[in-house]
C-alpha cells in the first residue's frame, strides 16, 4: 500500500505572494489539501486538478470541525496513501496548534514535514509600515496570544515590560480582550501614552490601521468598528508608521479583482500595483468528446484554402490532434493561416507558424474584413475555410464568413466546461462586497458566472465594476442587463490590465 505523508505548511498572513517556494511546492504535489479560513483562495489554484479539498476553518467562533476531528482527518487521509498538505494561516507553530497536529501524526507513525510560514506577527506590522524592531527605537519584541481569559490572571505582563524598556509587544487574536489587555498593561506600570496600533486584515485589500495609545486604542477600536481578525502592536515603533507606510499608498490598494480565467503573467501587474487577485476560472477547456469531424478535416487538408484559429486554445487542441495523426507542419504550406488576436499568434509561433492574416480587432466583423481583403488581393481561390473552435463558439462568426461565398467547416477541437470548485467562497466574497472589479474574456466566462450565482447574480454584481476584453464579450454582458465600465482598445490581457489601471487611477 502506498505510504502517505503530511506537509504542515504555513501559508502566511493573507497576501498570496508571501507563501514560500517550498510551501507552494507542497500545494502543487498534494493529493489532498486541508485548509483554514484565513487562506488566500488564490493559493488553491496551484493545486493539481485531481486534488481533494477539505475546508476546516473557523470563522466568527464557528468551527467547521473540532481540532480532534482535524487531527483524525490528517491521519485518515495519510493512511489512504495520500500526500496531504495541511495549509494553515501565518506560521503553524506560532499560535497555530501545529504542534498538536504533528504530535498526533508522530504517534501514528505517519511521515510528516514542517514548512514554516511568514507569521502575521512579523508581516502585518510591516504592511502597516511598522518595523517591530529598530536600532534607535526597539531592540526586542514579544509575541503574545490575546484570546485567553486574562481577567483572572495577575501581573501577566510585568516580567515583559516592567521597566518600560525599548521593546515591542505584539498581541495576536486580541480584539475581544482588547480593553482588558490595555487596562492590565497600564495597571502593571506601562505608560498610558505608549503608542499602539490595531491592524485588521493585514496584508489584504481590507487592511485597516487604527493608531493611538494604550489608553485609548480600545475606545478607538469600538468607534471604528474593528472586528477580528486583527493584531495589536504596542511600542514606540508605532510612531514610525507615518514615515514608513507603503502598502496603502499603492494605486490599486483596496481592490480585489476577480479573474474568471486561468492566471497568466500579464495579470500580475495588478498585484504589483496593490490589488489582490481572486482567481476563479468560470470556464475550463478539455479535449472534444468526439474527434471524428476534426480528424476527417485534418486528413483532407488539401480541400481547404484557409484555417481560421479563433483562440490560443484552438491552436493548442488542433495541433495536438494534428501531430497525433502523424501530420507534419509542411502539410500546411499552401494554406492561409488566420490568427484572431495577438495571443493566438503567439501560440501559432510556438509551432513554427506565422499567421498570414490577423484582424485588428477580436470580432466577427474584423475577421470578415481581413479575410475578404486578403483573399481578394492574393487572387486566390479558397475552396473551403477550416474553423477549429470550441463547442460554444459564437455562431455569428461562422455566419459572417459564409457571406464570403465560401464554405466554412466549423469543427469542434475542444469543449468548454464549467468548474465549480471553491464557488462557495466566491459567492461569500461577492455577497460581502469584497470583489471590486470582475474581468471577463469571453461571453461564456460571464454566462457561466451567472449560472453559478443563479438568482442572486444581480444583487451580488450590483456594485462590481465589470471589465470585458472586447466588443463581443461586452455585447454579451450588456444583453444580460449589466453595465460594462472597462473595455481595452485591443483585445489582449495586457491591454485589459492597462485599462483597469487607467480606470482606477482616473476614478480615485
Positions marked catalytic: 36, 58, 173
- Residue 355's closest CA among 363, 346, 367, 364? 346
> What is the phi/psi pair of residue 313, to 5°?
-65, -35
C-alpha cell at 394: 459564437
The CB density around residue 279, as the number of other CB atoms within 10 Å, is 22
Q: Do the beta carbons of residue 9 and residue 33 sit within 8 Å?
A: no
Residue labelled with grid coordinates 459564437: 394
Distance CA 436, CA 430 (A): 9
Print burial letters for 179-215: b (CB count within 10 Å at least 16), e (below 16): ebbbebbeebebeeebbbbbbbbbbbbbbbbbbbbbb
CB atoms within 10 A of CB 96: 19
Decide if 307 contacts 338 (C-beta within 8 A): yes
Q: Are 439 and 477 in contact (CB under 8 A)?
A: no
155 CB-near residues (< 8 Å, 6+ apart)? 188
C-alpha 370/C-alpha 207 separation (Å) is: 49
Specify the pairing of strand 284-287 against strand 407-417.
antiparallel
User: Which of these, 95, 100, 140, 98, lies nearest to 115 by C-alpha position?
Assistant: 98
Rounded CA gap, 424 and 336, in Å?
Answer: 46
Quote the CA–CA distance of 196 and 202 in Å, as a whole number.
Answer: 15
Closest by Cα among 355, 361, 327 to 489:
361
Distances (CA, A) of 250 to 339, 495, 499: 37, 20, 17
Backbone angles phi, psi at 273, to 5 degrees: -95, 10
Amino acid at each position: 500500500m502506498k505510504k502517505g505523508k503530511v506537509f504542515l505548511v504555513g501559508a502566511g498572513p493573507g497576501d498570496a505572494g508571501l507563501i514560500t517556494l517550498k510551501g507552494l511546492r507542497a500545494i502543487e504535489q498534494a493529493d489532498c489539501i486541508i485548509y483554514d479560513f484565513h487562506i488566500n483562495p488564490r493559493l488553491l489554484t496551484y493545486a493539481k486538478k485531481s486534488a481533494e479539498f477539505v475546508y476546516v476553518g473557523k470563522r466568527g467562533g464557528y468551527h467547521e470541525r473540532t481540532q480532534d476531528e482535524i487531527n483524525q482527518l490528517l491521519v485518515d487521509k495519510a493512511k489512504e496513501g495520500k500526500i496531504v498538505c495541511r495549509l494553515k494561516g501565518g506560521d503553524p507553530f506560532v499560535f497555530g496548534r501545529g504542534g498538536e497536529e504533528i504530535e498526533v501524526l508522530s504517534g501514528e507513525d505517519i511521515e510528516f514535514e514542517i514548512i514554516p510560514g511568514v507569521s502575521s506577527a512579523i508581516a502585518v506590522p510591516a504592511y502597516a509600515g511598522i518595523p517591530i524592531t529598530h536600532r534607535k527605537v526597539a531592540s526586542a519584541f514579544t509575541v503574545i496570544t490575546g484570546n485567553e481569559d486574562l481577567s483572572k490572571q495577575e501581573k501577566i505582563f510585568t516580567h515583559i515590560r516592567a521597566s518600560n524598556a525599548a521593546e515591542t509587544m505584539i498581541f495576536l487574536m486580541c480584539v475581544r480582550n482588547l480593553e482588558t489587555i490595555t487596562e492590565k498593561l497600564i495597571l502593571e506600570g506601562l505608560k498610558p501614552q505608549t503608542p499602539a496600533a490595531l491592524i485588521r486584515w493585514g496584508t489584504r485589500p481590507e487592511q485597516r490601521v487604527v493608531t493611538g495609545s494604550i489608553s485609548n486604542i480600545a475606545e478607538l477600536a469600538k468607534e471604528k468598528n474593528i472586528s477580528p481578525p486583527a493584531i495589536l502592536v504596542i511600542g514606540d515603533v508605532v510612531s514610525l508608521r507615518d514615515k514608513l507606510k507603503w502598502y496603502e499608498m499603492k494605486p490599486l490598494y483596496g481592490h480585489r479583482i476577480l479573474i474568471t480565467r486561468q492566471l497568466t503573467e500579464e495579470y500580475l501587474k495588478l498585484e504589483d500595483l496593490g490589488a489582490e487577485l481572486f482567481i476563479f476560472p468560470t470556464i475550463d477547456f478539455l479535449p472534444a468528446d468526439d474527434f471524428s469531424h476534426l480528424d476527417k478535416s485534418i486528413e483532407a487538408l488539401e480541400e481547404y484554402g484557409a484555417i481560421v484559429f479563433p483562440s490560443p486554445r484552438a491552436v493548442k487542441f488542433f495541433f495536438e490532434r494534428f501531430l497525433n495523426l502523424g501530420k507534419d507542419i509542411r502539410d500546411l504550406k499552401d494554406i492561409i493561416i488566420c490568427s484572431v488576436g495577438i495571443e493566438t499568434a503567439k501560440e501559432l509561433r510556438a509551432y513554427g507558424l506565422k499567421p498570414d492574416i490577423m484582424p485588428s480587432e477580436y470580432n466577427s466583423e474584423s475577421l470578415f474584413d481581413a479575410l475578404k481583403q486578403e483573399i481578394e488581393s492574393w487572387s486566390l481561390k479558397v475552396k473551403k475555410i477550416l474553423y477549429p473552435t470550441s463547442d460554444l463558439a459564437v455562431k455569428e462568426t461562422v455566419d459572417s464568413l459564409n457571406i464570403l461565398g465560401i464554405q466554412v467547416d466549423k469543427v469542434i477541437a475542444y469543449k468548454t466546461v464549467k468548474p465549480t470548485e471553491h464557488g462557495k467562497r466566491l459567492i461569500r466574497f461577492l455577497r460581502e462586497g469584497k470583489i471590486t472589479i470582475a474581468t471577463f474574456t469571453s461571453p461564456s466566462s460571464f454566462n457561466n458566472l451567472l449560472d453559478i450565482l443563479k438568482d442572486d447574480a444581480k444583487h451580488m454584481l450590483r456594485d462590481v465594476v465589470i471589465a470585458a476584453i472586447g466588443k463581443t464579450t461586452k455585447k454579451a454582458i450588456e444583453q444580460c442587463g449589466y453595465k460594462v465600465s472597462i473595455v481595452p482598445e485591443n483585445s489582449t490581457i495586457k491591454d485589459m490590465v492597462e485599462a483597469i489601471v487607467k480606470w482606477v487611477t482616473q476614478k480615485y
